[in-house]
Amino acid sequence: MRLNVCPRIVGSSEAGANAAAALLRHGHFYKVAISSSGAHDQTLSNLWWSEQWLGYPAHEAPAENSNTIHAKKLPDHAKLMLIAGGMDHALNPASVMRFVQALDKCNKMYELVFIPDVGDECGSETYAPMRAEAFLKANLGS
């Protein structure tokens, strides 16, 4: 039985981290992901939030569920766009930068769109959707 491939996944905020995680953990199924304001490093999230979803006490769960730990699993065929706002008060932009650093160390390819003067809503600004649309067209066809 052949499994059909879902071409793309897009998410913002925690769903942004999940979009990237879909490529890291299910790269055989997903080909393209756009992650906007993703919480890629759970150790930077508010402890109460992590414990709510990952259990109490958190201990190693935030690290184990962080994309930074799994960056090496990004398939070579995968296309990943990361979007981050420099003024994000909901999800620390350092979380995206730590993921970028982990991807760099593993020599993984990705595209980064950093918008210095916007917050968590950076995916809804006019520039980010324009870049996301171009990214999808380039990697999935028109």
pLDDT tens, residue by residue, 75-106 = 999 999 999 887 777 778 888 999 999 999 99
Q: Provide the mean pLDDT of the chain.
A: 82
The whole-number pLDDT of residue 129 equals 87
Whole-angstrom distance, CA of residue 5 vs CA of residue 3: 6
Following CA atoms 26, 28, 29, 32 in sequence, which dihedral angle do they give, to the nearest 10 degrees? 90
Q: 95 and 39 in contact (C-beta within 8 Å)?
A: yes
Pure H helices in 14-126: 14-26, 47-54, 61-64, 93-105
Checking if the pLDDT of 63 tops 70, the result is no
The whole-number pLDDT of residue 15 equals 82
The whole-number pLDDT of residue 1 equals 43
Between 16 and 44, where is the model more confident? 16
Q: What is the mean pLDDT of residues 115-121?
A: 73
- Quickly count: other Cβ atoms within 10 Å of residue 68's Cβ: 20
The whole-number pLDDT of residue 96 equals 92
Say which CATH topology domain 6-140 has: Rossmann fold (3.40.50)
Domain segments of the chain: what residues? 6-140
CA-closest candidate to residue 86, choices 132, 119, 61: 119
